[in-house]
Amino acid sequence: MRASVAAAALDAGADIVNDVSGGLADPGMLPLVASTGATYVTMHWRGHGDSMQQRAVYDDVVAEVRGELLARVEAAEAAGVGADRIVIDPGLGFAKTAEHNWQLMARMREFTELGYRVLVGASRKTFLGRLGGAEAPVPPARRDAATAATSLLCAQAGVWAVRVHDVPSTLAALQVHEAVSAWGEVSGGAS
């Protein structure tokens, strides 16, 4: 979320800037990205970690996150970042309750239908650790199966990429999705 860090990463050979603030934390971020050929990931963000959960108030979380993300996309494009270089991230867990995260997951197509690539980072997040009504969340390392399930749901919704900690379990889930999709295409059914 700092332009100076992004500039150093780009100088070192990075070609993606993943800005969790969507350009809100540092006014130099969007001009920096615009001056490069880097892909820009703009995440939904409502403030720094010390106050973000107090801002987890929505009437319709999906509609509001979409609208706020589109405002960040508009700002990036106005700064000169090409639409083909923009990736949006609904920011699961950032100023969102578990219920908000589940609503976003259930309606992920409303983000993929916007015409921008979508990145989702659900991996090992607390809302996955509380599945089944667990009083205390299961430890992060035991959330990989749930993460793989969210990755599969994201693939079904047309998400471009997922950020995960345990690549093999997500890869296996996505290979299952690919195999079923290919079968559906071969038999003439819907994929």
Residues annotated as catalytic (active site), given as ranges? 125, 163
C-alpha 12: how far from chain center: 24
What is the phi-psi region of residue 45: left when phi exceeds 0, alpha when psi lies from -120 to 50, beta otherwise? beta
At residue 152, φ and ψ (nearest 5 deg) are -65, -45
Question: Going by DSSP bridges, is the β-strand pair 39-43/16-19 parallel, antiparallel, or unpaired?
Answer: parallel
C-alpha 37: how far from chain center: 21
C-alpha 178: how far from chain center: 21
Count of CB atoms situated within 10 Å of the CB of 29: 28
Give whole-number Cα distances, 130 to 102, 137, 187, in Å: 12, 5, 39
C-alpha 156: how far from chain center: 15
- Rounded to the nearest 10 degrees, the angle between the axes of helix 61-78 and helix 98-106 is 70
Tokens of 121: 């980072």
